[in-house]
Amino acid sequence: MTSKFDPAAIRAVLFDLDGTLIDVEMPRFIPAYVAGLGRHFLDCVPLHQFARVALQTVHALVHVEDGGCSNEERFLGALERHLGVGPELYRQRLAAFCEDGLTELAPLVGAVPEARSLVETCLERDLPVVIATNPVFSRSVIDARLDWGGLGDFDFELVTTLENSRFCKPSPRYFLDLASELGVAPSECLMVGNDTGHDLAACSIGMPTFLVDTWAVEREESFAPDYRGGHGELLRFLQQL
């Protein structure tokens, strides 16, 4: 695909995680995760109520355009308002779930054969690598998915999480925050992902994009990629940077 962007100008690579660097069906993973976590609150909140509030809050995070607080602060605030679950209690129960129940979700996550080579190719070229996953999960849950996908040993420049992010994809401010954190212009970052709406929204701030179409998520509100192809094509593209 012909693009107006010069690949030689790329100074950082931002990878989506789910469906890009790991093989996972989020429509299965998310309900299983929420149910597993919710069972750690059964002494104070019915499971169906916890799941409803948690999912509604995550959905709302995706549409936030006010960066006055972190995604975690918004999420915990909603749980306290609607369920009476305070931040300290939530963190205690999340830690317990990560200790005794999170591994039950491991079978839902598979490794992508090319994933390690994709990351290694960038690092060999001294390109900072960011895990630009939608920051609606805590760091511990993202780290678990990286481990299950065979990527947990890499020293990534940044991983966007519930705790350290103010916005979510597809907000342009999510991508602007990343470029600012890296100290580069948006046009010097390459956003790699499989979601035509969330990942390719990076183009709205002049960030070049690569659509990994192995497991493409096609959304009604979508953007055209600058480049596209499967994991093999992506690897060959990165090798030319």
Q: Digits of tens for pLDDT over the chain (241 positions)? A: 556 788 889 999 999 999 999 999 999 999 999 999 999 999 999 999 999 999 999 999 999 989 999 999 999 999 999 999 999 999 999 999 999 999 999 999 999 999 999 999 999 999 999 999 999 999 999 999 999 999 999 999 999 999 999 999 999 999 999 999 999 999 999 999 999 999 999 999 999 999 999 999 999 989 999 999 999 999 999 999 9
Total Cβ atoms within 10 A of residue 25:
13
